[in-house]
Amino acid sequence: MKIIICGAGQVGWQIASHLSTEDNHVTVVDNNPALVRSINDTLDVTGITGFASHPDVLDRAGARDTDMIIAATHSDEVNMVTCQVAHSVFAVPRKIARLRSQSYLNAIYSDLYRRDHMPIDVVISPEKEVAEAAMRRLSAPRAFDTELFLDGKVQLLGIVLDDTCSALNTPLRQLSELFSTLRAIVVGVRREGRLFIPEPEDQLYAGDDIYVFSDAEDVRRTMEIFGKSQQRSERFIIIGGGNVGRAIASRLEADDRRIRAKIIEKNRECAEEAADSLERTIVLHGDGLDMTLLEEANIERADAVLAVTDDDKTNLLSSARAKAVGVPLVVSLVNDPTLVSLLQPLKIDAYINPRATTVSSILRHIRHGRIRAVYSVGDAEAEVIEAQVLNSSPIAGKEIRNVEWPAGAIVGSIQKGKDTFSPTGSTRVEEGDLLAVFVLAADVPQVEKLFQVSIDFF
């Protein structure tokens, strides 16, 4: 597949990194020569310097015979014009644009993106993706990472193990026997910075980060088994009243529970916009690092604090202060992956990586075969792929143990009709089944091939 990625920033670089290892011909366009040189030196891609919306630049990038264009520059307008030029001049079949302005995303203007107007096939909103990620974090408050799969019936949980975990120093095979009715399976372990797929005889140790697939109805029990008791959260403080903070507050207001939320926003104009757009949320104008203001907001009584400003340091420091006064759940938005190592020393419970959520959303629309969803794990260390089995797929009709899975892949859950369960080696994969597979980054192409249809299918 030939793909043009416009924008060599964090999102563009990460998408190029994923796709360049998967037999795709990837070209990256950016007007910053330094970024283009860096991506040329680092990845197996073609870098072009120039403005992505200019027809001659797209022509040099190979737009005449490209299959897809992904417009992920920092400018909404450049991304929109790029898609229009790609459609009108080069007839590019598929166009994806990242848009941040809420005005462009308002549902009443959705006709704007019809093919005879502004022909964008998929619109990705980073703020919307981050807000949804934050709500998923709140559904499993003690997990550092979480995502839903198989129509919301299965939840991926990232859990940091400590000395309170009763499952330590026990082979995973024995855990399955001890908790035979628990619909959960450990699919990944990060130990001393290395992520790997565990074997049945492997044991878990304090300090491990583990990834678990759990039936949605068993999430509370799963968390308790791994030493993380759950509690209901009703009082929230959101530090940052920008698009992300407002989106989270709006979702909290729509919750059936009696949730009380407050927003702290440093910029007066932004604070006024938040106050005007929300109904029950209290908006305070001030610095989220101001302890006096935090006390005024009754931070010591809060059940959860979400720090979602556009400044990582503000988020981390305000989260640390919230934790210091005893807030049970603290979630921080972190753009820079090198800062993630600070979370544990600062006792921050969970973080949201906007880049990872946006990349996951874009990858969902790129994958081959019947790939329904893709979720990027950690700093692009692994992916969870949700895919449907077709009659002509190489795995159709085979038992799980007879499929040539790569060493870095494990099936976390399978859905047959309306039934969802953790598969065993004898589980037969049939046409129409949905599988959620946890796979290390290096083995993603091999797993994708298992879900592709053969040429005879056509």
**CATH of span 358-457:** 3.30.70.1450
Single out the residue of 70, 15, 68 nearest to residue 43, CA to CA.
15
Under a CB-based contact definition with an 8 Å cutoff, are residues 226 and 237 in contact?
no
**Exposure letters 254-278 (e unless 16+ CB within 10 A, then b):** eeeeebbbbbbbbeeebbebbbeeb
Q: How confident is the model at residue 457 (pLDDT cuts 50, 70, 90)?
A: very low
Residue/partner pairs of 25-28 with CB below 8 Å, 24 or more apart: 25/1, 25/62, 27/2, 27/3, 27/61, 27/62, 27/66, 28/4
Query: Do the domains spanning 2-124 and 130-225 agree at the CATH topology level?
Result: no
Answer left, alpha or beta for residue 346, where phi above 0 means left and psi between -120 and 50 means alpha.
Answer: alpha
Please name the fold of domain 2-124: Rossmann fold (3.40.50)
Q: Where are the domains of the chain?
A: 2-124, 130-225, 235-352, 358-457
Supply the mean pLDDT for the chain.
88
Q: How confident is the model at residue 378 (pLDDT cuts 50, 70, 90)?
A: confident
Q: What is the pLDDT of residues 232-282, one digit of tens each?
A: 778 999 999 998 999 899 989 887 777 889 999 999 999 999 999 999 999
List the structure tokens of 231: 């509690």
DSSP at 108: G
What one-character-per-residue DSSP string does 257-269 give?
Answer: S--EEEEEESSHH
pLDDT of residue 209: 93
- 369 has a pLDDT exceeding 80: no
Single out the residue of 170, 70, 187 nearest to residue 120, CA to CA.
70
**CATH of span 130-225:** 3.30.70.1450
Of these ranges, 86-90, 132-136, 178-182, the one predicted with the greatest mean pLDDT is: 86-90
Tell me the CATH class for 235-352.
alpha beta
Name which residue leads in pLDDT, 1 or 207: 207
pLDDT of residue 108: 66
Which residues in 216-278 belong to E strands, given as ranges? 235-239, 260-265
